[in-house]
Amino acid sequence: MIDSAAAPLSGRVVLVTGASSGIGRLASRELARRGARVTLLVRDPQRGESTRAWIEATGGLESPEILLCDLSDLEQVHRAAEEFRRRHSRLDVLVNNAGVLQRRRRLSSQGHEWTLAVNHLGPFLLTLSLADLIPSGGRIVNLASVAHTRGRFDFEDMTLEDGYSMWDAYARSKLANVLFTYELARRLAPRRIDVNALHPGTLPTGIARGHSRVASWLWKIVTRFSGRVEEGSDAVVRLAGDPELEGTTGRYFYKMSKAESSPQSHDRRLQAELWSWSLKAVGLTEESMFL
DSSP secondary structure letters along 122-182:
HHHHHHHHHGGGPPTT-EEEEE--GGGGG----TT-TT--S---HHHHHHHHHHHHHHHHH
Q: String of b and e for 257-275 (b: at least 16 CB within 10 Å)?
A: eeeebeebbeeeebbeebb
Active site residues: 170
| 3-class DSSP state of 15 | strand
Separation between Cα atoms, residue 37 and residue 89, nearest integer Å = 13
Backbone CA torsion sign across 204, 207, 208, 209: positive
Phi, psi angle pair for 92, to nearest 5°: -80, -35
DSSP state of 92: S
Residue type, 230: E
Backbone CA torsion sign across 109, 22, 128, 76: positive
Separation between Cα atoms, residue 166 and residue 99, nearest integer Å = 13
